[in-house]
């Protein structure tokens, strides 16, 4: 199994600048800053990392609930 995967995303210029600023502030690359943000999200929400199928369902449910508010 590979240690890394390539992820290509489209985002707004503002989000890109924000991610770069987070990386610089934390002395991380943008990729590592994004990894840290994702892992922090799972930790804050009491979800296992790496995510299991159950956790992915919990995240989808959470997103749907927030979208309906």
Per-10-residue mean pLDDT of the chain, 69 residues long, equals 86 97 96 94 89 67 70
The parent domain of residue 24 ranges over 13-67
Residue 51 lies in a domain: yes
Q: Is residue 7 part of a domain?
A: no
Place of tokens 């309906």: 68
**Is residue 29 assigned to a domain?**
yes
How many Å from the N-terminal Cα to the C-terminal Cα in the chain? 40
- Position 59 scores a pLDDT of 66
Q: Domain total for the chain?
A: 1
Three-state DSSP class for residue 56? helix
Q: What is the pLDDT of residue 50?
A: 84
Residue 17 lies in a domain: yes
């Amino acid at each position: 199994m590979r240690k890394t995967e390539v992820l290509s995303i489209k985002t707004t210029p503002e989000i890109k600048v924000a991610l770069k600023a987070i990386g610089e502030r934390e002395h991380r690359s943008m990729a590592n800053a994004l990894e840290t943000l994702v892992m922090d999200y799972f930790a804050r929400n009491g979800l296992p990392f790496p995510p299991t199928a159950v956790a992915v369902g919990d995240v989808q449910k959470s997103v749907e609930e927030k979208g309906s508010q």
